[in-house]
């Protein structure tokens, strides 16, 4: 046996020994034998069962909390819905509104020398023009002779009588209440507007009150009939 | 003659002292590598006794067998077939054959020696 051969064998057996030792250690790892007797095992089992129970309790607790949160969330949803409904009702004019605003009066204007025919109503065109003007100046809620103006309100001439919805405007003065976020500004704009001249042409006098802190506008007393309307398909987010 | 045995002991000592552990999922690879190495070692001893020993064959066989065996085991794991059994079988059979051959050669030598001594 040459020296080289011996070294080869030595090298190979060294590697084998190394691998053997590692394999031995790896497979010998769980070297703790279970030496518990039945009572000890029972005790340990009881301990584990208690732990199990505890964990179950915790799970239940967290589930309850989760449920509570869910409930609160859905209740909040309901509250938000109700709030939205209220807001929409307010916007639609189905509630009484109180706020800063101005009051306009329309009266007949005849001077001493007048001898022509006397009109006892205001033309629908002129009234619509006034309403448009008010809306242009930022009116939020308007009522004409305590008739609340809503989106479906019509102002029209029926057999010579101007009617707001179905309420006839027969007697002067006609009171128009307007609620607006900035009454002062509306007052000034109305003062500067030429609408009063248009009224004068029809022998009517438009008086604009000073801005008032508290104007009460009663709700719309009719029923809102929706003839054509459909829900918008909205993507769920 | 005693140097290889010393190497084996040194290797075991080294392995135990380093305190290395491989993950248990790789232990089958290691065991098959150990088997392949053993096969090569015993084969080398047999070849040496039969005077057909070639150091290139021995060293290349050592590494090649280990790599082949482990890659076979690896392939088996990934194919879901226990291919390492093929390596275990092949190496096992060869191990037994080689050891048998070594035993016979040693026995023959021993008997020859005894006869010589008697004469």
Distance CA A34, CA A36 (A): 6
> Which residues are bridge partners to A205 per DSSP?
A107
Distance CA A116, CA A110 (A): 10
Residue B112 has pLDDT above 70, yes or no: yes
The pLDDT, as a whole number, for residue A129 is 86
Nearest Cα of chain B lies from the Cα of A7 at a distance, in angstroms, of 8
A233 compared with B60, residue with greater pLDDT: B60
Contact status of A181 with chain B (Cβ, < 8 Å): no
Q: Specify whether A175 is located in the same domain as A138.
A: yes
Residue A47 in any domain: the answer is: yes
Q: Specify whether A129 is located in the same domain as A191.
A: yes
CB contact under 8 A, B16 and A4: no
Contact status of B34 with chain A (Cβ, < 8 Å): yes
The pLDDT, as a whole number, for residue A79 is 80
The pLDDT, as a whole number, for residue A7 is 85
State which residues form the domain around A42: 37-92
ipTM for the whole complex: 0.84
Total of domains in chain A: 2
Distance CA A97, CA A195 (A): 26
Q: Specify whether A102 is located in the same domain as A146.
A: yes
Cα dihedral value B9, B13, B16, B21, nearest 10: -70
Nearest Cα of chain A lies from the Cα of B1 at a distance, in angstroms, of 7
Distance CA A157, CA A226 (A): 23
Closest Cα partner for B33 from B84, B81, B95?
A: B84
Residue B49 has pLDDT above 90, yes or no: no
Q: Specify whether A86 is located in the same domain as A104.
A: no
Residue B99 has pLDDT above 90, yes or no: yes
Q: Specify whether A76 is located in the same domain as A132.
A: no
Residue B95 in any domain: the answer is: yes
Q: What percent of chain B has pLDDT over 90?
A: 20
Q: Do B63 and B33 form a contact (C-beta atoms < 8 A)?
A: no
Q: Specify whether A107 is located in the same domain as A86.
A: no
Residue A206 in any domain: the answer is: yes
The pLDDT, as a whole number, for residue A237 is 55
Cα Dmax for chain A: 152
Residue A16 in any domain: the answer is: no
Q: Specify whether A157 is located in the same domain as A102.
A: yes
Contact status of B105 with chain A (Cβ, < 8 Å): no
The pLDDT, as a whole number, for residue A61 is 93
User: Which CATH number fits the domain that encloses residue A170?
Assistant: 3.30.70.1880
State which residues form the domain around B63: 24-118
Residue ranges for chain A with pLDDT beneath 70: 1, 29-31, 111-119, 235-237
Total of domains in chain B: 1
Closest Cα partner for A149 from A171, A127, A170?
A: A127
The pLDDT, as a whole number, for residue A43 is 92
What is the 8-class DSSP label of residue A28? Answer: T
Residue A24 in any domain: the answer is: no
Residue B75 in any domain: the answer is: yes
Residue B106 in any domain: the answer is: yes
The pLDDT, as a whole number, for residue A112 is 65
Distance CA B43, CA A93 (A): 104
Cα dihedral value A104, A110, A111, A115, nearest 10: 170
């Amino acid at each position: 046996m040459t020296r080289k051969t011996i070294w080869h064998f030595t090298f190979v057996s060294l590697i084998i020994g190394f691998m053997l030792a590692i394999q031995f250690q790896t497979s010998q790892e769980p070297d703790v034998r279970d030496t518990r007797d039945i009572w000890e095992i029972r005790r340990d089992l009881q301990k584990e069962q208690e732990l199990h129970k505890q964990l179950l309790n915790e799970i239940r607790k967290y589930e309850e909390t989760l449920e509570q949160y869910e409930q609160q969330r859905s209740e909040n949803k309901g509250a938000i819905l109700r709030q939205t409904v209220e807001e929409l009702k307010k916007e639609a004019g189905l509630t009484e509104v109180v706020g800063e605003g101005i009051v306009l009066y329309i009266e007949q204007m005849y001077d001493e020398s007048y001898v022509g025919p006397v009109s006892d109503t205001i033309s629908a065109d002129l009234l619509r023009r006034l309403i448009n003007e008010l809306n242009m100046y930022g009116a939020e809620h308007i009522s004409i002779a305590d008739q609340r103006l809503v989106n479906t309100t019509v102002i029209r001439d029926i057999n010579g009588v101007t009617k707001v919805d179905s309420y006839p405007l027969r007697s002067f003065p006609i009171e128009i209440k307007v609620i607006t976020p900035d009454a002062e500004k509306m007052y000034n704009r109305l003062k500067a507007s030429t609408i009063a001249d248009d009224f004068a042409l029809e022998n009517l006098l438009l008086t604009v009150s000073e801005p008032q802190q508290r104007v009460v506008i009663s709700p719309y007393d009719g029923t809102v009939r929706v003839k054509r309307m459909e829900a918008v398909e909205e993507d769920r987010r | 003659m005693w140097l290889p045995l010393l190497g084996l002991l040194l290797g075991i000592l080294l392995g135990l002292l380093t305190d290395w552990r491989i993950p248990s999922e790789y232990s089958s690879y290691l065991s098959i590598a150990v088997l392949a190495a053993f096969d090569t070692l015993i084969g080398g001893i047999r070849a040496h006794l039969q005077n057909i020993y070639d150091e290139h064959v021995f060293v290349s066989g050592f590494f090649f067998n280990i790599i082949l065996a482990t890659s076979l085991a690896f392939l088996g794991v990934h194919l879901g077939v226990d291919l390492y059994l093929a390596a275990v079988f092949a190496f096992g059979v060869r191990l037994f054959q080689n050891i048998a051959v070594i035993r016979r050669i040693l026995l023959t030598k021993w008997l020859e020696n005894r006869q010589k001594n008697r004469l």
